[in-house]
Amino acid sequence: MTDPTPGSWRRWREFFAPPTFADEDSARLARVLNIILLNGLLALLLFTLATAAAGQYDRTVKMALGAGMAIILFFLLRGRFLRLTILLTFVVQLGLVTWILFSGGGIHELATMLYPITIVIAGLLLRKKEFLAIFLLSLLSAAFIIFSELTGRIDPSRLQKTSIYVLITVIAIFVLAAVAVRILANDLQRSRDRVRQHERELRESNLRLQQEVSERKQAEESLRESETRFRTLAESTFEGLCVSENGLIIDANSSLARMLACEASEIIGRRVDDFLEPEMRGIVARQMHAESDVSFEFMVRRLDGTLVPVESRSRTIPYQGRLVQVTTCHDLSERRRSEEEQRILEAEIRQNQKLESLGTLAGGIAHDFNNILSIISGHAAALSGKLKDNAEAQTALHTINEASERGSSMVRQILTFARKSEADFRALRIQDMVADLVKMLRVTFPRTIDISYSCPGDLPQVWMDPSQLHQALLNLCINARDAMAGTGKLEIGTRLISGDDIAARFPAAAGKRLVRIQVIDTGVGMDEKMRARIFEPFFTTKGRGRGTGLGLAVVYGVIRAHRGFVEVDSQPGAGAVFSLYFPASERQALPEPPRDSEELPSARGSETILVVEDEEDLRELLTSMLHDHGYSILVARDGLEALERYRRHRQDIQLVITDMDLPRLNGAAVSQSILSDNPGARIVMISGFLETALKESILASGVREFVAKPYTMPQMLQIIRKVLEMLQIIRKVLDED
């Protein structure tokens, strides 16, 4: 349990404490008056006890009455009636003094000393008019006592001898005391006013100083926040930023440091010119002071000497009390790389558009041209059989066959370049093909050209079309022969490399094993402008009548068809190096197909065949050849006529041979209609050109064989016999079951 004494003492202190006032003067007067009342109450209580002990009961009553008045005034002060309490205090005091003196020993009583005390206290506490009123009341009280003594109203037995001179003396003392006290009070008031003025000025000065300190702190804080914000913004931007004064760098952000491949501390303190090429310093300086919103581009030199393209803007701003140039630098390296990639991509798109245009052209002319070649070669073969003993005729027919083969080869080159021909992919040994090619070149090329080759025996196989690769390498060698003008050195080399070695130039090669084939010549070489166009179709530098412009275009088409890559290194007068890269394959070689169907004996038959061909010469040639080999022939000139003939002679027809490109109804629709009516029908499709996807779709629908134009008659006879014999085998199996 806690001791209650401290709490009780606190409550008593609060009880006897003076009331508080907002006004400082009122608070001071309340404190002084509170002390006077408490001391007066204590003195009156002591007088009361003393007079009671002395048996002076009349005085005891007076003192007790005075103590009661002091208590009333004490509580009146607690009620915050300050001015009223002050006046009543002096009035009560004078009244009590007058009463004590009148009922006692008169002016010579000891209580008379209360008059000067009253005047002194009034002079210190009261305003001028209030002090004058108390002074007059004190003077009247004293005069009343003296006058009462002189007139005998006070008991004469208790009095000393009094005269009018006493009254004059008392008045003089009162006046002197009042004047002195008032002068002192006025002086104290003035001193207090001066002190208050000084205090007020000091407080105001203090407030101003505190406000200035606060404003300065706020300004410093704002400056720190601004610098922090500036530093944060400067560091968070992806652009390089530097602040320079008269060409001297005084600040830089980390982005600029990364751009220049160094630390920011290595930049600050250097001059802007240290990072510029000499010829650019004046231009950049003028741009930095031009105050233009237009960006300008230049090369920034790193400390290691490498150059970085940048796009920059500059502006003059106030910074820490001086004018500086703020310059931003945006690294253009990535944009330049993107632009270069875009340029390459656009070039590839243009090349692909050319390929597409050429493919459309090739697809359009292949059918008709192959029809013509089939007619030429077919009639030449027929005449060759009839004119075996005529040497001159055989020579002419041989020339016709060679021209037909060249035409057919040209069509294949166009289709290969346009990626329209069907590739015969197989596992291929590069070294065998190169060895055979070199043998042929040494026989056909001038002996003044030195031909050599190097092929490691352990090269892995590549999965590709041998004829297309042979055509591409042959075209490169012919191009090299023409560039050397009949004399020079031609070298063919192969080796296995890692795709990572060329991944920087060909990203798709990364992680692969590649077989590289290089064709190197010592010819006239090419400049950069010519190198940029060598793979364009129909572009040639060989002069009128010496080239078709398709040789290197075919090379490019073969490489793209086999997902390979090609590089050309050439300078004028320094020859050329063509590097072809093909993915190495782990597939095993397939069995070799028969060498030449023309070497097989011609097959004869007696079945009925429906021939559907719109080209009259080719139709007559095919029907004549089939008729000579024992077959019965029905003929149709378009798709609708073919369906009508088939429905009419369905039971007799064992085989349908139809061209793809027919009037009124094409060969695919004819075959579908026949197969829907008779799923067991045997159909051979012929076409001068057919997309691979469409060919596969036709074969999947039930067509037995596909023959590409131009075809030879022995080839056609072998295919016919193959399909019909398969039909006979199936019928035999069904009969046995």
Q: What would the pLDDT profile of 546-583 be if each residue is shown by its tens digit?
A: 555 566 777 887 888 788 888 888 888 888 899 999 88
Question: Do 350 and 317 share a structural domain?
Answer: no
Question: Do 621 and 684 share a structural domain?
Answer: yes
Does residue 4 form part of some domain?
Answer: no
- Would you state the pLDDT for residue 586? 59
Question: Do 631 and 567 share a structural domain?
Answer: no
pLDDT tens, residue by residue, 654-684: 899 998 888 888 888 888 898 888 888 889 9
**Among candidate residues 282, 308, 331, the one where a domain is terminated:** 331
Across the range 141-163, mean pLDDT stands at 66
Across the range 21-32, mean pLDDT stands at 77
The neighbour count for residue 495, using CB atoms within 10 Å, is 13
Q: Which residue has the higher pLDDT, 635 or 198?
A: 635
Question: Do 133 and 53 share a structural domain?
Answer: yes
Q: Which residue has the higher pLDDT, 440 or 544?
A: 440
pLDDT tens, residue by residue, 97-121: 777 777 766 666 666 767 777 777 7
Does residue 23 form part of some domain?
Answer: yes
pLDDT at 598 over 50: no
Does residue 206 form part of some domain?
Answer: no
Question: Do 118 and 44 share a structural domain?
Answer: yes
Residue 596, φ and ψ in degrees, nearest 5: -155, 120
What's 531's domain CATH number?
3.30.565.10
pLDDT at 594 over 50: no
Give the whole-angstrom CA distance, residue 475 versus residue 481. Answer: 10
Q: What residues contact 268, with CB distance under 8 A and at least 6 apart?
A: 249, 250, 251, 252
- Would you state the pLDDT for residue 1? 44
Across the range 300-318, mean pLDDT stands at 83
Does residue 578 form part of some domain?
Answer: yes
**Would you say 49 and 61 are in contact if contact means Cβ atoms under 8 Å apart?**
no
* 603 backbone φψ class: left, alpha, beta (φ>0; ψ -120 to 50): beta
Give the range with max mean pLDDT: 26-40, 47-61, 206-220: 206-220
Question: Do 278 and 245 share a structural domain?
Answer: yes
Give the whole-angstrom CA distance, residue 679 versus residue 666. Answer: 19
Does residue 229 form part of some domain?
Answer: no
- Would you state the pLDDT for residue 49? 82
pLDDT at 728 over 70: no
Give the whole-angstrom CA distance, residue 122 versus residue 116. Answer: 10
**Would you say 109 and 100 are in contact if contact means Cβ atoms under 8 Å apart?**
yes
Q: CA 202, 207, 210: angle at the middle one, nearest 5?
A: 120
Residue 568, φ and ψ in degrees, nearest 5: -130, 125
Predicted model pTM: 0.40
Does residue 221 form part of some domain?
Answer: no
Give the whole-angstrom CA distance, residue 655 versus residue 622. Answer: 14
pLDDT band at 197 (very low <50, low <70, confident <90, very high): confident
Across the range 143-150, mean pLDDT stands at 76
Question: Do 456 and 605 share a structural domain?
Answer: no
pLDDT band at 593 (very low <50, low <70, confident <90, very high): very low
Across the range 457-471, mean pLDDT stands at 82
**Tokens 């002194």 identify what position?**
120
Token representation of residue 253:
């952000």
- Would you state the pLDDT for residue 735? 55
What's 653's domain CATH number?
3.40.50.2300
Does residue 8 form part of some domain?
Answer: no
Question: Do 718 and 659 share a structural domain?
Answer: yes
DSSP states along 374-390? HHHHHHHHHHHHHTTT-
Report the share of the chain in percent with pLDDT over 70: 76
Domain that holds residue 707: 601-736
Does residue 183 form part of some domain?
Answer: yes
Across the range 601-613, mean pLDDT stands at 79
- Would you state the pLDDT for residue 552? 77
pLDDT at 396 over 80: no
Question: Do 186 and 45 share a structural domain?
Answer: yes
**Among candidate residues 164, 195, 226, the one where a domain is terminated:** 195
**Among candidate residues 359, 390, 414, the one where a domain is terminated:** 414
Question: Do 469 and 383 share a structural domain?
Answer: no
* Number of domains the chain contains: 5
**Residue 580: strand pairing partners:** 517, 566
Average pLDDT, the chain: 76
Question: Do 86 and 121 share a structural domain?
Answer: yes
- Beta strand 653-659 with 608-612 is parallel
What's 244's domain CATH number?
3.30.450.20
pLDDT tens, residue by residue, 614-629: 888 788 888 888 888 8
Question: Do 452 and 534 share a structural domain?
Answer: yes
